[in-house]
Amino acid sequence: MPATVAIVRCPSYEPAVVDRALDEAFQLLGGLGRYIKRDEQVLLKPSLPAAAAPDEHATTHPEVVAGVIRQVQQAGGRCFIAESPTFGSLARVAETAGVGAVARRYEAPLVELNRPTHLPVKNPLTGRWLVGDPCVTRADVIINLPKLQAGTPTRVTGAVENLYGCVPGRRKAWWQVQARRRPEVFCDMLVENARAVSSALTVVDAVMVKDRQGPRPMGVLVIGTEPVAVDAVLCDLMGVPAPQDEILQAATRRGIGTPELAAIQVVGERLDQVRLRV
């Protein structure tokens, strides 16, 4: 079967609007019960790299996190929210982003990813094993919750890059410093890390997106099972040609996922109906 990505309208962060969009998207993908069984431990990985308020649109909006928690709990799963911020503690970053209040409301523990363990994939940057956290390897299901951004014309920050936040502690920053003169190898590492983490679902907050012009409304959620395929759709929505996107190039080089848009089944809204207008 081809990789499938659902695009659904979500014009605001009102809880009822988010719930309707998530219901529609999961139905398009066969229902959440295909991915989550009762009493399974479900790791939610939002984008919380540093402290930023929700109205800055630099982190996953708390109402998107809350909506996914409601869906998972209705399916019988048990959620926890995990992240390894680049700057600051998870408690502080989550509180500033509004996710801390969501965690308390739904009794979903916040877990800072700071205990290194080896993953069974070699790091193209260092030649050693990639490093993750035991919470990532022991979770029954991982749901990736990135915030759509495009700060450069050659890379969309979406599904693959958000999973880099599963790398514990300061290794992320150190590897980025090492890769300054080797951006291709760094992107190779990002796609290998995404393969190692092996998320079951990606739910992209693209209600408000951030590019070089600042925050702008797109009004959709983008949901899929394969991070690379999701990123291929996100590149099209943001107007970044796939041959220019560094992460899709890396996925092509390493034979990971589905980086070719023509090979992806897009369901729900048509791409040309929701694409960001330049």
pLDDT of residue 13: 98
Phi, psi of 200 (to 5 degrees): -85, -35
pLDDT of residue 257: 96
pLDDT of residue 24: 98
Q: Give the 3-state DSSP-derived string for 167-193, with helices as H, strands as E and coil as C.
A: CCCCHHHHHHHHCCCCHHHHHHHHHHH
DSSP string covering 85-107, please? -SSS-HHHHHHHHTHHHHHHHTT
Closest CA to 9 of 228, 200, 217, 214: 217
Report the alpha-carbon distance of residue 220 to residue 223 in Å, rounded: 10
pLDDT of residue 131: 84
User: Averaged in consecutive runs of 10 residues, what is the pLDDT profile of the chain (278 residues)?
Assistant: 93 98 97 96 96 94 98 97 92 97 98 89 80 91 95 80 88 69 87 94 96 90 98 94 92 96 96 86
pLDDT of residue 193: 93
pLDDT of residue 27: 97
pLDDT (tens digit per residue) in 35-94: 999 999 999 999 999 999 999 999 999 999 999 999 999 999 999 999 999 888 999 999
pLDDT of residue 179: 66
In the chain, where the domains are located: 4-274
Give, rounded to a whole angstrom, the gap between the first and last alpha carbons of the chain: 33
Report the alpha-carbon distance of residue 3 to residue 230 in Å, rounded: 9
Q: For the whole model, what pTM was predicted?
A: 0.95
User: What is 4-274's CATH topology?
Assistant: Rossmann fold (3.40.50)
